[in-house]
Structure 1
Amino acid sequence: MNFPKEIKCVIFDMDGVIIDSEEIHKKAYYETFTSIGVNVSDHLYKTLTGSSTINAFQRLVTHFNLDLKPEELVLIKRKRYVNFFENDPTLHLVDGVEELIKHCYNRGFTLILASSSAMVNINRVFNRFNLNQYFSAKISGADLIASKPHPEIFEKAAVLGNTPKRNCVVIEDSDNGIKAANDAGIFVFGYRNKMAEDQTLENADFIIDDLSQLKKLI
């Protein structure tokens, strides 16, 4: 897809783009897997990255033929995630993202958060790092009918941003998120997050290794 002639709206993913939380999500998932006695391979886990938690557990319940409710597994995983979140003082924003957010905001762009995380986790991050002031809307994939890689979340983000898709860009670090942006018809930057090296980003329109690069592009 061609680079937009005029950018008016920037749509951010959260985990791995705004906050370095991929590792604590992974820890919370694997503690939950252990507690229910399933062995999730690295390959299978990779396919879940970027999906909502409910979607991930729906797939795992089917895959392992478990007699468990996905909704209950979501609550177990979320409790473990919150424990890591609240007790890990090293948890921090991705390098360069705060400066990028302020850069976009000061340029008058509409900023939308489009994350697969539950809204309770989104608010936890935004309150901790004082980000609410910059964003016009926040969308949780957990509240939608379909999860990434389905394009619904980005289609809704463009609507909430009151911006034509041709004037939007997405910043993503997962293959599922990139596919969602592709299928929504929105230009997508793939951010090579060192904590998510298993993601290829091969379908991104433009790949960056450092978020500070984007200040020169948008």
Structure 2
Amino acid sequence: MLKAVIFDMDGVIVDSEPLHHKAYHRMFKEVNINVSDVLYQSYTGQATLPICQHLQKTFNLNQSPEELVSIKRKHFKYLFDNDDSFKLIDGVLELIKDYHNNGLKLVLASSASMPNINRIFTRFELDKYFVSKLSGADLKASKPHPEIFINAAKASGFEKEECIVIEDSTNGIKAANAANIFCIAFDSAHSKNQDYTTANKVITEFNEIRFDEIKTFL
């Protein structure tokens, strides 16, 4: 029986990819590297540090991965504070309220840093709906490693078999698969060139997974 829902954040709760795209590309320009679209898209769902570790090695940069992270976060914070287009994904707040009102425990499991998670949850007043928030940046391994979802299931207080994950990235779906947790892939216009073939269910709108629709999934 379904007891808990584990949400990814970027691309599921907020349309933050445009801000991340701008922040990363401002960082690329600042350190004078040319990152292809294919390489950039392969990073979707990963935490910032492993991305910067790969960039540092691939482009033989003088900056450390930690310095690259700092540069990228500097640009993201500026954009977060000044870009008025930043908003919740259409329909997700109604979905969150629907689950919460029906007694499901909600957990966030995001590759974003905890300061970014808290910034977004404060801006959109989401803390009251979630029992726990987990950041992949605090873990040794990023998605597609399953650790974050294994920990999220524990944080919900229920067994993995009583949880589902909502994800939008190839790496996130692989992580949910590896954790053996039922995975719903959100195929949206914000997530390009991602592989949803191993998800248990694929949706394009959140009204497809209202509580009355998903309560019998498990």
* TM-score class normalised by the smaller sequence: over 0.9
Query: Partner of 1:61 in structure 2?
Result: 56
Structure 1 letter corresponding to 2:92? V
Query: Following the alignment from structure 2 to structure 1, what is the Cα–Cα distance between the partners of residues 24 and 44?
Result: 11
Query: Following the alignment from structure 1 to structure 2, what is the Cα–Cα distance between the partners of residues 53 and 90?
Result: 22
Task: Choose 196-205 or 24-33, whichever is displaced more.
Answer: 196-205
How far residue 8 of structure 1 moved from its aligned partner, in angstroms, is 0.4
Gaps of 5+ in 2: none
Query: Partner of 2:9 in structure 1?
Result: 14
Query: Partner of 1:148 in structure 2?
Result: 143
How far residue 106 of structure 1 moved from its aligned partner, in angstroms, is 0.9
Q: Which aligned pairs between 1:160-171 and structure 2 lie closer than 5 A?
A: 160-171=155-166
> Equivalent residue of 1:138, what SS?
strand
Query: Following the alignment from structure 2 to structure 1, what is the Cα–Cα distance between the partners of residues 103 and 118?
Result: 23
Out of 61, 66, 69, the residue aligned to residue 71 of structure 1 is: 66
Query: Partner of 1:99 in structure 2?
Result: 94
The superposition leaves residues 178-204 of structure 1 with CA deviations (integer Å, 9 ceiling, x where unpaired) of 000000000100001201122122221
Query: Following the alignment from structure 1 to structure 2, what is the Cα–Cα distance between the partners of residues 62 and 211?
Result: 39
Query: Following the alignment from structure 1 to structure 2, what is the Cα–Cα distance between the partners of residues 204 and 68?
Result: 37
Structure 1 residue ranges, 4+ long, deviating more than 6 angstroms after superposition: none
User: TM-score, normalized by length of structure 1?
Assistant: 0.95
The superposition leaves residues 6-64 of structure 1 with CA deviations (integer Å, 9 ceiling, x where unpaired) of 11010000011000111110110011011111111111111111000001001111122
Residue 122 in structure 1 maps to residue 129 in structure 2: no
Query: Partner of 1:217 in structure 2?
Result: 214
Residue 39 in structure 1 maps to residue 34 in structure 2: yes
The superposition leaves residues 108-157 of structure 1 with CA deviations (integer Å, 9 ceiling, x where unpaired) of 11100000000000000000000000000000000011111110000000
RMSD: 0.9
Structure 2 letter corresponding to 1:180? A
Structure 2 letter corresponding to 1:17? V
Structure 1 letter corresponding to 2:39? L
Query: Following the alignment from structure 1 to structure 2, what is the Cα–Cα distance between the partners of residues 197 and 98?
Result: 22
Query: Following the alignment from structure 2 to structure 1, what is the Cα–Cα distance between the partners of residues 147 and 167?
Result: 15
> Equivalent residue of 1:178, what SS?
helix
Out of 104, 108, 111, the residue aligned to residue 109 of structure 1 is: 104
Query: Following the alignment from structure 2 to structure 1, what is the Cα–Cα distance between the partners of residues 155 and 75?
Result: 32
Query: Following the alignment from structure 2 to structure 1, what is the Cα–Cα distance between the partners of residues 154 and 214?
Result: 23
Structure 2 letter corresponding to 1:170? V
Aligned residues: percent identity? 50
Query: Following the alignment from structure 2 to structure 1, what is the Cα–Cα distance between the partners of residues 35 and 17?
Result: 17
Structure 1 letter corresponding to 2:83? D
Gaps of 5+ in 1: 1-5
> Equivalent residue of 2:20, what SS?
helix
Query: Following the alignment from structure 2 to structure 1, what is the Cα–Cα distance between the partners of residues 54 and 161?
Result: 33
The superposition leaves residues 55-105 of structure 1 with CA deviations (integer Å, 9 ceiling, x where unpaired) of 100111112222221111111101101111111112110011001001111
Query: Following the alignment from structure 1 to structure 2, what is the Cα–Cα distance between the partners of residues 25 and 125?
Result: 13
